[in-house]
Amino acid sequence: MQRFEGRVALVTAAGQGIGRAVAHRIAAEGGAVVVTDLAEERVRKVAEEIGEQALAVKLDVTSRAEIDAAVAATVERFGRLDVLVNNAGGCLVTSKPEVTDVAGWHRQLDLTLIGAAQCIQAALPQLLKTKGNVVTISSVNGLSAFGNVEYSAAKAGQLSMTQNFAVRYGPSGVRFNVVAPGTIRTPNWDGQPGVLAKFQKMYPLGRIGEPEDIAAAVAFLASDDAAWITGLTLPVEGGVLAGPTHLDLTPS
């Protein structure tokens, strides 16, 4: 299935984990991919894995100048931009929410929410030309209380932002959707032995998610198979929002 033949996608935080899987999935379906990340060596490696239809660009999504440069590099290399995948983000604040200072809140919001907004702003002129679309990777934390207040608030903000962009630009033919993953097996969990095994007990489907699970959902929403879907948040979370199957997460 070549749903992205002739199309170009820019994926943020694509050096590993979910972003890498998304880049590979879109390329496997015929698309050209701009692989971006703060870690230059990682994006070069991913671009090499994909081959000649990939371009590696170092990108800090908290810098509007770098975002604009990434979009310009995309158009210079491939002539167009059809899909933006907002994957950059992370939980930067680990203190108790009652003591998080303003700087901590800004660090979290600047990366996860404002960074995604700036990427959309920079990509919009191109997406309006191609009647393209945006898929933002949020989290179940944006839909329910799983802890990490600042991170969850930023992720919830992505959902509202997406709905507002979807209504504003739907008449112009540009779609905006969200994928909200549960716990996914990524390098972010490295160095925390046993944590994923504990989390797995919560999931009705009996396993932790894989990056490829999220990539499949992104590929659907970004393709013409979802041509009449916009403003949607699609949870991809093993059933945990229906209800956790095991509440005891204390160490065994």
Break the chain into its structural domains and give their ranges: 8-236
Q: Are the CB atoms for 147 and 99 separated by under 8 Å?
A: no
Residue 62: burial class (beta carbons within 10 Å; 0-12, 13-18, 19+): middle
Q: Is the pLDDT of residue 77 over 60?
A: yes
Helix pair 115-130, 149-169: axis angle to 10 deg = 20
Whether 193 shows a pLDDT value over 90: the answer reads no
User: Tens digit of pLDDT for each residue in 139-176?
Assistant: 998 989 887 889 999 999 999 999 999 999 999 999 99
Read off the pLDDT of residues 87-143 as tens digits, 9 standing for 90 and up: 998 876 665 776 677 888 898 999 999 999 999 999 999 999 999 999 999 999 898
Q: What is the CATH number of domain 8-236?
A: 3.40.50.720
Active site residue 203: no
Task: Match 């671009």 to its residue by tokens.
Answer: 47
Could you report the per-residue pLDDT of 210-246, keeping only the tens digit for each?
A: 999 999 999 999 999 999 999 999 999 999 999 878 6
Distance separating alpha carbons of residues 33 and 179, to the nearest angstrom = 19
Specify the range with the lowest mean pLDDT, choosing from 58-62, 194-198, 201-205, 246-250: 246-250
In this prediction, residue 40 has a pLDDT band, given cuts at 50, 70 and 90, of very high
Element (H, E) at 20: helix 17-28
Q: What is the three-class DSSP state of 36? A: strand
User: Helix, strand, or coil here: 186?
Assistant: coil
pLDDT given at position 182: 94
pLDDT at 86 over 70: yes
C-alpha to C-alpha distance for 134 and 127, rounded to whole angstroms: 9
Return the pLDDT at 247.
56
Contact 86, 134 (CB under 8 A): yes
Contact assessment for residue 53 and residue 127, using Cβ atoms and an 8 Å cutoff: no
Instruction: With beta carbons less than 8 A apart as the criterion, state whether 198 and 249 touch.
Output: yes
Angle at 197 between CA 239 and CA 220, to 5 degrees: 40
Active-site residue identified among 4, 78, 146, 151:
151
Collapsing DSSP states into helix, strand and coil, what is residue 72? Answer: helix
